[in-house]
Amino acid sequence: MSYFDRILVCRDCSNTFTFSAGEQSFYAARGLVNDPQRCPTCRSAARRGTPGAAAASTYVSYGPSASSAGANPGRCTRPPAVPAAR
Ligand SMILES: [Zn+2]
């Protein structure tokens, strides 16, 4: 049985994604006869229990600024004196 890459349309975000030959053989090996309905992004989002949150998946990277803000307990956190630019 030979497979070839196919382009599918995501049910959730309507983006196209590749259902590669390797994935198809993987699906077939697991006995899955249906095509995937969602792109990998929406699939992982649905797996996290947040359906429809695929668009927000780009905001998951929280910067280190949140943890460094309170990194000096007990110390006065005055803003540093900014010298005048002239
Ligand atoms: Zn999608």
pLDDT in single tens digits along all 86 residues of the chain? 689 999 999 999 999 999 999 999 999 999 999 999 999 999 999 888 865 554 554 444 445 554 445 555 666 667 778 787 77
Ligand 1 centroid, distance to 27 Cα (angstroms): 18
Q: Which pTM does this prediction carry?
A: 0.52
Domain boundaries, the chain: 1-50
Q: Is 14 helix (H, G, I), strand (E, B) or coil?
A: coil
**Alpha helix positions (H), the chain:** 21-29, 40-47, 65-68
Q: Which amino acid is at 24?
A: Q
Q: Are the CB atoms for 19 and 35 separated by under 8 Å?
A: yes
* Torsion sign, CA atoms 65, 67, 68, 73: positive
Q: Which CATH number fits domain 1-50: 3.30.160, 2.60.40, 3.30.200, 3.40.50?
A: 3.30.160
CA of 12 to the centre of ligand 1 (A): 5
Distance 75 CA to ligand 1 centre (A): 47
Number of neighbouring beta carbons within 10 Å of residue 42: 23
